[in-house]
Structure formats: C-alpha cells, structure tokens
C-alpha cells in the first residue's frame, strides 16, 4: 500500500505534466499549427515535443501516470482539432481514435522500456525510453490515420521521416536532462520510483 506522501507526489507530478502538455499544445498567433511544443524549422520540417511529458510521467511515476498524461495530451489535441476550420490538415484529429487512443500508450511503453533495461546505464535507459515513447506516438498516430482514412502507412511514415529523426533526438535530450535533474533533486528521497 502506498503511503500518503507517495500518492500526493504522484498526483502533483501528474497534474504538473498535464499542465505542461496543455501549455505546449496551445497555439501561438505566429501561424497555423505553431505552438510551444510544435516547432517549425522551415516550410517542410517541423518537430513536436508535446508527447514528452507522457514519457517523463511514465519514467518517473509508472505506467498509469504515463497513460493519464498521454490521455490528457490526446484529449486536448482532440479539443484543439475541433476548433480548426473545415479542411484544415489538423482536422483529422477530431477522430479520438487518431488523437486520443495512440497517446494512451506513450507513457506505458516508455515505462516498460525503462524498467526492462534496469541493468543498463541510466542515460541509455532514458534515451531508449524517450525513443520508444516517441516512436509509439508517431507510429500509432500514423497507423490510426492509415486505418481510419485509408491512406498508405509507409508512404505517410516516409513523408515524416526527417521530422521523426529530429523528434527522437530532441525527445532524448529533454528526457535525459529533465529526469536527471529531477533525480538529482530527489536523490535524498528513499523509495523513489525515479
């Protein structure tokens, strides 16, 4: 049975990560689809880091926190898509099978990789978890789009391959930095799940 401070910490971390996901998703008035968590590097290349809080939640507090944070990211993505004008490319995310369901798996997959590599170096565990969570987001969203809209999976994957490579790198750097910093702050805590 978990003690009260552990449960409180889990709830606080979950709430903070959900808030960060929402802030990263809020559109800026700099153009279509631009937000703090969606970085355009020109007309063709754009990367997202909106899935990273779900990865961090899974690593820090386990699969259920990762699932809840990823679900919140998906629900907010669905809400934002519903605000888009008709014909907008982002409008495909009004389908919860595309916007919500894939995001539920980001944190649990990251946690599974993190715990499965227990004997590995901590930085490698974090990098592989970030890669696994990022791939989960991308592959499941593309898979859901292929399933629901009958578009070719591999052609869509190929069209985002440069973005995906950049997202893998950026997510890995952020996850290593954030989790390492939090582990450093919490190193005096006993029974930490970090």
Name the DSSP letter for residue 101. G
The structure tokens listed for 23 are 């802030």
Q: Quick check: 35 and 78 in contact, CB under 8 A?
A: no
Distance (Å) of CA 21 to CA 139, 141, 165, 176, 182: 20, 17, 21, 18, 18
More confident residue, 121 or 44: 121
What are the residues whose beta carbons fall under 8 Å from the beta carbon of 21, sequence distance 6 or more? 37, 50, 53, 54, 69, 72, 73, 76
Where are the strands (E) in 15-95, listed by range?
A: 38-40, 46-48
Query: Distance between CA 78 and CA 168 in Å, rounded?
Result: 23
How confident is the model over 63-120, as pLDDT tens digits?
999 999 999 999 998 988 888 777 777 788 999 999 999 999 999 999 999 999 999 9
Q: What does the pLDDT average to over 10-16?
A: 93
End-to-end Cα separation, the chain, in angstroms:
18
């Amino acid at each position: 049975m978990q003690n009260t401070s552990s449960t409180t910490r889990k709830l606080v971390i979950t709430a903070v990560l959900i808030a960060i996901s929402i802030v990263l998703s809020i559109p800026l008035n700099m153009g279509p689809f631009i937000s703090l968590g969606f970085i355009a590097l020109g007309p063709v290349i754009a990367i997202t880091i909106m899935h990273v809080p779900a990865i961090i939640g899974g690593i820090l507090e386990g699969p259920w926190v990762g699932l809840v944070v990823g679900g919140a990211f998906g629900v907010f993505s669905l809400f934002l898509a519903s605000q888009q004008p008709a014909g907008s490319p982002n409008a495909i995310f009004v389908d919860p099978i595309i916007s919500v369901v894939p995001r539920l798996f980001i944190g649990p997959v990251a946690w599974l990789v993190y715990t499965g590599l227990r004997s590995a170096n901590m930085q490698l565990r974090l990098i592989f978890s970030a890669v696994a969570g990022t791939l989960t987001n991308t592959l499941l969203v593309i898979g859901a789009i292929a399933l629901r809209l009958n578009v070719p999976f591999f052609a869509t994957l190929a069209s985002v391959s440069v973005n995906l490579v950049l997202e893998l790198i950026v997510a890995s750097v952020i996850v290593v930095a954030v989790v390492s910093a939090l582990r450093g702050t919490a190193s005096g805590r006993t029974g930490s799940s970090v």
